[in-house]
């Protein structure tokens, strides 16, 4: 695990990826009951090098899921509870005056953002100023304090949660920040069987320890290798055109935009949406044991990658039209006929 790509055959690398991914899924699933799709998207976002926005009511195990994933992969994990009075320095870190050997100097004290996996809990409760402090970290994988840039340790992933209820006193994420999340996954309520299993696991004496897949020292490199493997997956030209047509179809006034898009959307997805779709499709292809993307891989990536990038207009909100329903219409119209 974690060997250099040139020392392992390509077939072996693909097989290793599937094996690691599967084991990580199973390890997280030992702690989290259900939500296989959310777990898969979380790990996919990690291997794609993106960040993920998880939306769900409190008490569903979002924090536990992220913590379990970080422990499984042997990555560092930090949690930030966003509140209205949270300041950017509370996240990024600040200069503190230290005295050593008779000298006084400012020393940078890292904030909780310095970790491989950062959980921003209820990110919409922080002020826009604090939220924007996370922007540079998410996109550039670095923070700048008093003119000094500090790189964040790779692999770096921000997992933000958002509470869809209690909107009073919240600050909805700006569009620019929403665009930086590769996925937005929605966690619903657990099914009755899953809830019973949750009760059994959490209210008894049985412990479910997590077995890390990598040693902490080697984990970052191993994850980076797997991320590189994802990017090596190849995409055919017709499939690229299909992705472009989907983006165009979701853009009001764009080429091939369907009537629903022009009627209910203010803005469509940015090029980041297409990037997210390709990366997600590549990861899906690897998980299927292929080294090239298929149409099915792309179709599976459309909704999680684009649902938070569509800006609905007032009419859509008035008519209770969701971005998911619009995306389904787009897929239905643009889906390539299969033989």
Partner 1 sequence: MAPDRAATLSLALFAVAAIALVAGAILAWREYRARVDFIGAAVELDDLLGSQEQIVTLATLANPAGPDGIRARRTPLFPVLWRRAIACFEGFDARREFKLEVGEPLKRSSIFAGVVAFAMILATLGLVRVPSPETLQAARLRAIATRIAKTASTAEDSDLVAKIREAADALENPKLPPEEKKKRIEEAKQQAEKAAEKRNNSQSGNGQGTGTSKAQNGTGNSKGTGQGKSEAAGTGAGQGKSGAGQGKSETGKQSGKNENGKGGSGSAKNDNNHKNKNKGDKSSVELQNELAKAEAQVETADAKNPGPESQPGDDKNKGGGNKPGDDKNQTGGSQPNPNLPGNIPKPGVDGDRNIPAAGGKNTNGPDRGSNLGDTHLGEMPLPLSAQRYLKPGEKGAAVDIKDARYVMFRIPGATVSAGTGKTVLDSERHRATTAYVNAPLAPSSDNAPPDERQLVPPRYRDMIH
In the complex with partner 1, which residue's Cβ is closer, 85 or 237? 237
In three-state secondary structure terms, 50 is coil
Contact yes or no for 181/135 (Cβ under 8 A): no
Treating both helix axes as pointing N-terminal to C-terminal, what angle do 271-287 and 10-31 enclose, rounded to 10 degrees? 100
Contacts with partner 1 in 221-280 (CB under 8 A)?
Answer: 229, 232-239
User: CB of residue 290 vs partner 1: minimum separation in angstroms?
Assistant: 6
User: CB of residue 285 vs partner 1: minimum separation in angstroms?
Assistant: 8
User: CB of residue 222 vs partner 1: minimum separation in angstroms?
Assistant: 17
In the complex with partner 1, which residue's Cβ is closer, 188 or 289? 289
In the complex with partner 1, which residue's Cβ is closer, 172 or 289? 289
* Number of residues engaging partner 1 in binding (CB under 8 A): 24
With binding defined as CB under 8 A, does residue 160 bind partner 1?
A: no
β-bridge partners, 167: none
With binding defined as CB under 8 A, does residue 288 bind partner 1?
A: yes
Encoded tokens for 13: 């690398």
What string of DSSP letters covers 63-102?
A: HHHHHHHHHHHT--EEEEE--TT--HHHHHEEEEEEEETT
Interface residue with partner 1 among 14, 39, 68, 117 (CB under 8 A) is 14
Place of tokens 């209770």: 320
With binding defined as CB under 8 A, does residue 334 bind partner 1?
A: no
User: What whole-number distance in Å separates Cα of residue 41 and Cα of residue 53?
Assistant: 10
| 102 φ/ψ sector (left φ>0, alpha ψ -120 to 50, else beta) | left
The interface region with partner 1, picked from 4-12, 57-65, 83-91, 125-133 by CB under 8 A, is 4-12
User: CB of residue 286 vs partner 1: minimum separation in angstroms?
Assistant: 9
User: CB of residue 235 vs partner 1: minimum separation in angstroms?
Assistant: 7
User: What whole-number distance in Å separates Cα of residue 173 and Cα of residue 329?
Assistant: 26
In the complex with partner 1, which residue's Cβ is closer, 15 or 318? 15
Contact yes or no for 124/84 (Cβ under 8 A): no
| 101 φ/ψ sector (left φ>0, alpha ψ -120 to 50, else beta) | left
User: CB of residue 219 vs partner 1: minimum separation in angstroms?
Assistant: 23
The pattern of x and - marking residues 290 through 329 that bind partner 1 according to CB under 8 A reads xxxxxxx---------------------------------
Helix (H) or strand (E) holding 22: helix 10-31
User: CB of residue 277 vs partner 1: minimum separation in angstroms?
Assistant: 15
Residues lying near partner 1 in the complex (CB under 8 A) are found at 5, 10-11, 13-14, 229, 232-239, 288, 290-296, 338-339
């Amino acid at each position: 695990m974690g060997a250099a790509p040139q020392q392992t055959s390509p077939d072996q690398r693909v097989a290793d990826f599937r094996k690691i991914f599967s084991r990580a899924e199973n390890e997280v699933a030992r702690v989290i009951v259900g939500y296989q799709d959310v777990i898969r998207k979380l790990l996919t976002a990690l291997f794609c090098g993106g960040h993920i926005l998880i939306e769900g009511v409190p008490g569903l195990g979002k924090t536990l899921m992220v913590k379990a994933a970080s422990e499984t992969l042997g990555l560092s994990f930090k949690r930030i509870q966003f509140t209205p009075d949270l300041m950017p320095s509370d996240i990024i870190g600040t200069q503190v005056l230290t005295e050593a050997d008779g000298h006084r100097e400012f020393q940078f004290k890292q904030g909780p953002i310095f970790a491989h996996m950062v959980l921003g809990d209820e990110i919409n409760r922080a002020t826009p100023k604090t939220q924007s402090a996370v922007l540079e970290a998410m996109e550039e994988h670095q923070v700048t304090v008093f003119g000094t840039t500090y790189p964040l340790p790779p692999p770096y992933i921000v997992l933000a949660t958002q509470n869809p209820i209690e909107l009073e006193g919240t600050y909805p994420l700006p569009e620019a920040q929403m665009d930086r999340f590769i996925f937005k996954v929605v966690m619903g309520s657990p099914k009755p069987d899953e809830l019973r299993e949750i009760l059994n696991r959490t209210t008894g004496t049985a412990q479910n320890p997590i077995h890390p897949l990598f040693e902490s020292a080697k984990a970052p490199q191993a994850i980076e290798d797997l991320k590189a493997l994802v990017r090596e997956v190849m995409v055919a030209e017709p499939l690229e055109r299909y992705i472009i047509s989907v983006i165009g179809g979701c853009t009001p006034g764009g080429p091939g935009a369907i009537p629903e898009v022009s009627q209910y959307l203010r803005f469509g997805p940015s090029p980041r949406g297409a990037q997210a779709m390709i990366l997600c499709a590549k990861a899906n292809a690897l998980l299927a044991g292929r080294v090239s993307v298929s149409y099915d891989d792309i179709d599976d990536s459309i909704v999680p990658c684009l649902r938070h990038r569509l800006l609905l207009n007032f009419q859509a909100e008035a008519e209770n039209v969701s971005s998911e329903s619009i995306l389904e219409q787009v897929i239905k119209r643009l889906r390539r006929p299969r033989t």
